[in-house]
């Protein structure tokens, strides 16, 4: 990863995280080991996997209220770390689960909401996978493509 001289983060960081938010998390670390931020990211990874399973089940059950709640939950977790693409997709799911359009401004029918969520969920998972891979590489630069623990 090539590093930006202004902030010390990899030059591609802004494709995955909100720089300002992510820097604030990194500033909470006591030293260069990044124990605190690494633990936050590791916890986030665990939350996401569980939440995706719950979202899949809620979609099969056509449970919009549950989908809205899960979208809200994951939106907050991803926003805390600055993982903005995941945050934005989760916000859309939150609105759709509330039977609103993706912006939360117009009422929509249940079937339209479910169809839209079914379209967004795979994109959300792809965005998460991209962010996860970047974060794994950031926290474990010497992992050489192996599964690394955060």
Q: What is the reported pLDDT for 33?
A: 83
* Residue 107 CB-density burial (10 A; 0-12 exposed, 13-18 middle, 19+ buried): exposed
Separation CA 111–CA 115 (nearest Å): 6
Count of domains in the chain? 1
Domain membership of residue 67 as a residue range:
16-139
Q: Is residue 23 part of a domain?
A: yes
Query: What are 69-111's pLDDT values in tens digits?
Result: 999 999 999 999 999 999 999 999 999 999 999 999 999 999 9
Q: Is residue 144 part of a domain?
A: no
147 with 82: CB under 8 angstroms? no
Confidence of residue 143 (pLDDT cuts 50, 70, 90): low
Confidence of residue 149 (pLDDT cuts 50, 70, 90): low
47 with 99: CB under 8 angstroms? no
Confidence of residue 3 (pLDDT cuts 50, 70, 90): low
Q: What is the reported pLDDT for 5?
A: 45
Q: Is residue 147 part of a domain?
A: no
Beta bridge partners of 3: 10
Phi, psi of 16 (to 5 degrees): -125, -35
**CATH number of domain containing 97:** 1.20.120.160
């Amino acid at each position: 990863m090539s590093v930006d001289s202004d902030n010390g983060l990899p030059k591609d960081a802004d494709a995955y995280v909100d720089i300002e938010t992510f820097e604030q998390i990194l500033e909470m670390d006591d030293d260069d080991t990044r124990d605190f931020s690494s633990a936050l990211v590791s916890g986030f990874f665990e939350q996401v996997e569980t939440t995706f399973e719950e979202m899949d089940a809620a979609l099969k059950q056509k449970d919009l209220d549950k989908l809205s709640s899960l979208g809200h939950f994951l939106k907050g977790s991803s926003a805390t770390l600055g993982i903005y693409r995941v945050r934005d997709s989760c916000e859309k799911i939150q609105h759709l689960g509330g039977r609103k359009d993706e912006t939360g401004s117009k009422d929509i029918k249940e079937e339209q909401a479910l169809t839209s969520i079914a379209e967004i969920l795979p994109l959300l998972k792809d965005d998460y996978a991209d962010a996860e891979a970047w974060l794994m590489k950031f926290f474990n630069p010497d992992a050489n493509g192996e599964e690394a623990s955060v």
